[in-house]
Amino acid sequence: MEFLGTLVIILITTSLFGHLASRVGIPSVIGQLFVGIILGPALLNWVHANDFIHIFSEIGVIILMFIAGLESDLTLLKKYLRPSIIVALLGVLIPMVLIYPVGIVFGLTQFESLFLSVIFAATSVSISVAVMKELNLLDSKSGSTVLGAAVVDDVLAVVLLSIMVSLIGTKAGTDTQIPLALTFLEQLIYFAAIYFVMRFIAPLLARLGTKLLNPVGPTIMAMILCFGMAYIADLIGLSAVIGAFFAGIAIAQTHVAHEVDQSIEPIGYAIFIPVFFVSIGLNMSLAGIEHDLLLIIVLTIVATLTKLLGAGSGAKWAGFSSNEAYLVGAGMVSRGEMALIIAQIGYQSKLISDDYYSAIITAIILTTLLAPLLLKHAARHINY
């Protein structure tokens, strides 16, 4: 039962650091992210990224994005679909164009530099969702655009990753090519099926939940839909959080939305979501950091600015005010688990060498830490 001791340590420290962060005026998420760095290999080395942490963190981010979908306004998401696409496209293109030469300058090969640009083109808004929820901006014009852009960004990241793995297979002469046409078709069918889920399956599950002789029947049905859609999304190459997000939107259209929200939020924020925040920091290590310090600093600065300016300029182009564009750009800065997953795939495929892997992971975590601070700063200039 060692994992229970680990869970107790995580819950105590995230509660304390989250409270302290809020007291000094910064998002509580920052305090919880720092817990992973303090407890993990970077400093105290008390907690490690084992199977327990991985499973709980996966459930945590799925619940977090389900809650985001549950509390989103579908009308706003539809209204800001066009800006979301523009934000996502520029938010991917500009980091790819400008991070590639950074890799070349620091001695990475052309293939390594290309993959480096793919890593930092990805966005993970799970951290931003937590901060925007804390700042009551999740269901706003900018918040809806960030959520919509995250879906498009996720699809683009999957496409880029598929192409890169395909190129690796061709270069190495091995049979690792991914049938891109089949992947796109599966994902297209998945997004088309979302309408069917919203129109028929979610209301049916809601009715079944209310008829169950169980006080939390509707919540059980909602979780079945959430985990089911997350699992299928993962099977076809999308991020599981996209499935969870749309499951939340589907349940939000039913009469049990408020009841489910009241039931699932305490479970998520009391147990699973803190473990997810901690898991980000556990990936950071300070071993040999002095040799890669310049690369880490340059990568962090360029990665932050390119996503901030890329996504922000997309919002500006779509007609947002400068302050709103800044908020959208800040919301897209966090690389989080998406970039960590892509980096891990590249490392396992021998596309990123051992010499640069730790520096890349550290830069990903630093952008994830900076994102909530940028969001907090941008929120001060927004009046919704």
pLDDT per residue over 116-159, tens digit each?
Answer: 999 999 898 888 999 999 888 988 899 999 999 988 888 888 78
Tens digits of residue pLDDT in 19-41: 999 999 888 999 999 999 999 99
Helix axes 141-172, 81-105, angle to 10 degrees: 50
Whether the CB-CB separation of 137 and 379 falls below 8 Å is answered with yes
Cα–Cα distance for residue pair 87/307, rounded to 1 Å: 10
pLDDT at 173: 43
Tokens representing 311 are 């996504």
Q: If you write DSSP's letter for every residue of 243-304 in order, what string do you get?
A: HHHHHHHHHHTSTTHHHHHHHHHHHIIIIIHHHHHHHHHHT---TTGGGSHHHHHHHHHHHH
Residue 316, CA atoms < 13 Å, CB-side half-sphere: 13
Whether 175 has a pLDDT exceeding 70, the answer reads no
Q: In angstroms, rounded to a whole number, what is the distance separating the alpha carbons of residues 275 and 34?
A: 12
Mean pLDDT score of the chain: 90
Report the pLDDT averaged over residues 70-89.
92
pLDDT in tens, 258-297: 999 999 999 999 999 999 999 998 988 887 788 889 999 9
Could you tell me the pLDDT band of residue 167, with boundaries at 50, 70 and 90? low
pLDDT at 168 over 80: no
The pLDDT assigned to 174 comes to: 42
Q: Is the pLDDT of residue 171 over 60?
A: no
| The two three-digit tokens of residue 345, written as one number | 């795939």
The angle subtended at Cα 269 by Cα 228 and Cα 135, nearest 5°, is 110
Give pLDDT, residue 181: 74
pLDDT on residue 178: 54
End-to-end CA distance of the chain: 48
Give yes or no for a contact between 63 and 263, defined as CB atoms under 8 angstroms apart. Answer: no
Residue type, 307: K
Model pLDDT for residues 90-112, shown as the tens digit of each residue: 999 999 999 999 999 999 999 89
The 10s digit of each residue's pLDDT in 310-353 is 999 999 999 999 999 999 999 999 998 888 888 887 787 777 88
| Residue spans per domain, the chain | 1-380
Q: For the stretch 329-355, what's the b/e string if a residue is b when 16 or more beta carbons lie within 10 angstroms of its beta carbon?
A: bbbbbbbbbbbbbbbebbbeeebbeee
**Residue 108: CB atoms within 10 Å:** 21
Torsion angles phi and psi, residue 380, rounded to 5:
-65, -25
Q: Is the dihedral of CA 188, 189, 192, 198 positive or negative?
A: negative
Kindly report the CATH class assigned to 1-380: mainly alpha
User: What pLDDT, on a 0 to 100 scale, did the predictor assign at position 176?
Assistant: 47
Asked if pLDDT for residue 362 goes beyond 70, the answer is yes
* pLDDT tops 50 at residue 45: yes
User: Which of residues 288 and 377 earns the better pLDDT score?
Assistant: 377
What pLDDT score does 154 carry? 81
Max CA separation in the chain (angstroms): 64
For residues 243-261, give the mean pLDDT: 95
Question: Percent of the chain beyond pLDDT 70?
Answer: 96
